[in-house]
Amino acid sequence: MKKRLLCGILLIALGAGVYFYPDWSAVRTKHQQEQVIRQFQSEVSISDMQQEQEAENKDTVWTETVLEQSKAYNETLFETEQAAFRNAEAVKVVPNFFPDAREPIGILSIPAMDCTLPLYVGATDAHLNLGAAVLGGTSLPVGGKNTNSVIAAHRGWKNGKYFKEIEKLQSGDAVLVENPWETLCYKVESCEVIAPTDSERLKIQEGRDMLTLITCHPYRSNGASRYVVYCVRTESGQGSFTVTEGGDEKREEQPIEDASTPDIQRELWCRRIGVCLILGCICMACVQTGKHLRKNKGGTKRETESNETDFCWSDGVRHAGSSVDACTGSDDQGSQRDMERGVTGY
């Protein structure tokens, strides 16, 4: 019984560990993202003079020179019609003038999704595991006319949020990008679902200052399609460009079937039910353990009482008995012998 109970407890503990591992992983990833964001914010808060001093000793500082190079890079992309943006490997490319490709270029914030992620350049696995990434071959997130920064993120990695709830976004929702030099403000213009190979839908639209969000669709589809959210720079951003003459016409927003929300809700309810089942198993294990302990305690007490032995003296001899009656019987026999001795005078 004791072995079976111990095995049951170990199995429950093992199952709970496996079940809650994704949650623990999500918490750990969230902690890493927060650390990266805090580090980025502390670095960009350094004054210009301090930046120049740091730049002599550290290559990860985002200087005004890097900003000018980024703008020139964006102009070159537009002039060459993004010729390099044609294959999967191109999206991982990082411009060679970047101080450190491992460092984020900014912070992406989407209030409607309660999403804040570090923003990297180059859609490598390492970058996408930690946050969002600007696809190589698209505009760097510094704003300006004739730009379109295409930002990708997982739909849900290790139970993290990332772009899991991207279908919540509606026209007019804000999307913010804090780069080392300023905060760019965009608003959602339209959404659509495209094929994974339809890169033409992600290219720069002439005369516009845009930002495009992209992720797999539907949720847990292993990349069957891509969900795309087109955003335009708002007037609150300095030097913003929303629509200019000669530019591409604004895409009309078309209704998209909500294919992911039901699946996300089912997943949430399954996890809630799983938590309840695990807690129920733990409670049952505790009850059974308590019963087992009480039973063992009662058995030990009865065994102790049964093994207790009373001793008495009779005829000058020490006798062992299991009850008072045995001793009493011995005493009666001793008294009778004493009376006989008294009669005979012995």
The string of pLDDT tens digits covering residues 274-328 is: 777 777 777 777 776 777 677 766 655 555 555 555 545 555 555 555 444 545 4
Q: Are residues 67 and 153 in the same domain?
A: yes
Distance, in Å, from the CA atom of 256 to the CA atom of 167, rounded to the nearest integer, reads 9
Q: Are residues 319 and 254 in the same domain?
A: no
The string of pLDDT tens digits covering residues 213-226 is: 999 888 776 778 89
45 domain residue, yes or no: yes
Q: Are residues 27 and 100 in the same domain?
A: yes
**What is this structure's pTM?**
0.66
- Name the residue among 83, 86, 51, 87 with its Cα closest to residue 67: 51
Q: Are residues 222 and 83 in the same domain?
A: yes
Q: Are residues 155 and 265 in the same domain?
A: yes
Distance, in Å, from the CA atom of 200 to the CA atom of 192, rounded to the nearest integer, reads 13
Whose tokens are 């007037």? That residue is 235
Is-contact 210 144, C-beta < 8 A? no
Average confidence (pLDDT) over 176-183: 93
Which DSSP string corresponds to 214-259?
EEEESTTSSSSEEEEEEEEE-TTSTT--S--TTSPPPPPP------
301 domain residue, yes or no: no
- Per-residue HEC secondary structure of 314-346 comes to ECCEEEEECCHHHHHHHHHHHHHHHHHHHHHCC
> DSSP label at 308?
-
Torsion angle (degrees, nearest 10) of CA 60, 61, 62, 63: -130
Does 336 score more than 60 pLDDT?
A: no
Q: Look at residues 270, 290, 321 and tell me which one is the last residue of a structural domain.
A: 270
Average confidence (pLDDT) over 114-138: 92
Q: Are residues 231 and 322 in the same domain?
A: no
Round the average pLDDT of the chain to a whole number and report it. Answer: 75
Q: Look at residues 270, 301, 318 and tell me which one is the last residue of a structural domain.
A: 270
Distance, in Å, from the CA atom of 195 to the CA atom of 177, rounded to the nearest integer, reads 26
Q: Are residues 115 and 223 in the same domain?
A: yes
Q: Are residues 332 and 207 in the same domain?
A: no
Does 61 score more than 60 pLDDT?
A: yes
Q: Are residues 68 and 174 in the same domain?
A: yes
88 domain residue, yes or no: yes
4 domain residue, yes or no: no
284 domain residue, yes or no: no
Q: How many CB atoms lie within 10 A of CB 247?
A: 15
- Name the residue among 194, 212, 67 with its Cα closest to residue 147: 212
CATH of the domain at 247: 2.40.260.10
Q: Are residues 177 and 256 in the same domain?
A: yes
- Name the residue among 326, 328, 331 with its Cα closest to residue 314: 331
Distance, in Å, from the CA atom of 235 to the CA atom of 184, rounded to the nearest integer, reads 10
Q: How many domains, in total, are found in the chain?
A: 2
150 domain residue, yes or no: yes
Q: What is the pLDDT of residue 239?
A: 38
Q: Look at residues 242, 270, 298 and tell me which one is the last residue of a structural domain.
A: 270
Higher-pLDDT residue of 268 and 98 is: 98
Look up residue 200 and give its amino acid: E
Record the tokens describing residue 294, joined without a space.
Answer: 């009480």
Q: Are residues 107 and 57 in the same domain?
A: yes
Q: Are residues 219 and 73 in the same domain?
A: yes
282 domain residue, yes or no: no
Residue ranges making up the domain that contains 178:
10-270
Is-contact 209 145, C-beta < 8 A? yes
